[in-house]
Amino acid sequence: MTETSTETTDDVSPADSLTDPERLRDRADVPFTSEEAVHDDRDHCNTDAAGRAVVGLTNDAGDVLLAVHKEESVAMLPHCGVEPGEDWAAVARGTVEITTDLPFELDGVEVVREIDHFVEGEDEPHATTYGVVFRASVAGDPDTADPSHDENEHWDADWFDAVPENTPEGSGLVEDDIRLFVD
C-alpha cells in the first residue's frame, strides 16, 4: 500500500501544505530562526501545541490586515494555534477566513521561528514550539469589500500601513511579525 503524504517537498509549496516546519530549516528561500521564551512556570504558554500559524495579508497599497481585539483593543496579525499533526497552511487559511471575508491567497512562508520555552532559572527548555509566519495577498477586487468579518464576536479587522501602538504589551515578536509586512 502506498502512503500519500501532504508534507512539503521541493515540488510542493509550504503555502499549499505544511505538516512539519522543521522540513523548511535548510531551504534557502525560508528564513529559519531560533528564539527563547522565558516563563514564570510551565503552564504559561500553549506548549502542548505544535505552535502558531501567523498570516501577514497585504493589499495592493502595501497595507497589512490586522485583527484588533474588541475588548482589549490590541492589534496583531491573524494567528491561531496549531496542534501536532495539523496542516499549518490549512490552519493559516482558516485563521484568515474567520478574521475577514476578503478573498486571499497564501503566497509562501515569510519566516519560521523555532522557540525553546524555558522556566525562569532552569537551564534546559521544557518545550519547543514553532511560529510559522505566512505571507498572503488579497485576491480579486479588495476595494469592494470591508475587511471586517461581521460574524467574529472577538475581533475586528482593518488595514494598517505601520505597526500600531496597541500591540500586546511585552510581545516583541508580534511587532517584529507586523514589520515583516509594513515599513
Residue 71 lies in a domain: yes
Q: 44 or 157: whose pLDDT is higher?
A: 157
Q: For residue 30, is pLDDT > 80?
A: yes
Quick check: is 153 in a domain? yes
pLDDT band at 9 (very low <50, low <70, confident <90, very high): very low
Give mean pLDDT, residues 144-165. Answer: 76
The residue segments making up the domain with residue 101 are: 28-179
Interval 79-119: pLDDT, tens: 999 999 999 999 999 999 888 888 899 999 999 999 988 88
Quote the number of domains for the chain.
1
pTM, to two decimals: 0.84
One-letter-per-residue 3-state SS of the chain? CCCCCCCCCCCCCCCCCCCCHHHHCCCCCCCEEEEEEEECCCCCCCCCCCEEEEEEEECCCCCEEEEEECCCCCEECCEEEECCCCCHHHHHHHHHHCCCCCCEEEEEEEEEEEEEEEECCCCCCCEEEEEEEEEEEECCCHHHCCCCCCCCCCEEEEEECCCCCCCCCCCHHHHHHHHCCCC
The answer to whether position 99 is within a domain reads: yes
Residue 78 has pLDDT above 50, yes or no: yes
| CATH code for the domain in which residue 42 is found | 3.90.79.10
In a domain, 20, yes or no: no
Average predicted confidence (pLDDT) for the chain: 84
Mean pLDDT (whole number) for 18-28: 92
Q: Is residue 21 part of a domain?
A: no
Find the range with the poorest average confidence among 10-14, 126-130, 154-158, 170-174. Answer: 10-14
Tell me, what's the pLDDT at 122?
Answer: 85
